[in-house]
Amino acid sequence: MSGCISHQEIARVLHADGSSYKMGTLVYGTYEEIEAWCKKNDMWVDRYMDHINPSTLYNTGEWVGKGLSDPFAVSVPYDYDKAKPAGTFNTRGVNTDKW
């Protein structure tokens, strides 16, 4: 099992009663991670997607993986001298310290 981006799957999942998860939110992770997450949360995969625009996925998707970090996370500037990101960034990569 690998957490690299080339092994990620994207799926539309449904609750056991057939209703959409969070108004159609897509989930992503490896095939095994998605299946395990669905089983744990009493859901099932309606469809695995062939391609979703990465910006759409990091804005509306939910990572259910177990790796070190979200492979679709937005890259942000990093201050290596201070060993932390150069600002406070939200999930869209916007520096909230500026606003």
Give the model's pLDDT for residue 44.
Answer: 94
Asked whether the predicted pLDDT for residue 57 surpasses 80, the reply is: yes
The model's pTM is 0.72
**Position 87 confidence tier, pLDDT thresholds 50, 70, 90:** confident
DSSP secondary structure string, 10-62?
A: EEEEEETTSPBGGGT-EEEE-HHHHHHHHHHTTEEEEEE-S---HHHHHHH-E
Higher pLDDT, 51 or 39: 39
Cβ neighbours for 73, distance < 8 A, ≥ 6 positions apart: 58, 91
Give the model's pLDDT for residue 58.
Answer: 77
Q: Report percent pLDDT > 90 for the chain.
A: 35
Q: What integer best gives the mean pLDDT of the chain?
A: 84
- 14-21: average pLDDT: 91
79 phi/psi in degrees, rounded to 5? -95, 100
- 61-67: average pLDDT: 87
Give the model's pLDDT for residue 15.
Answer: 93
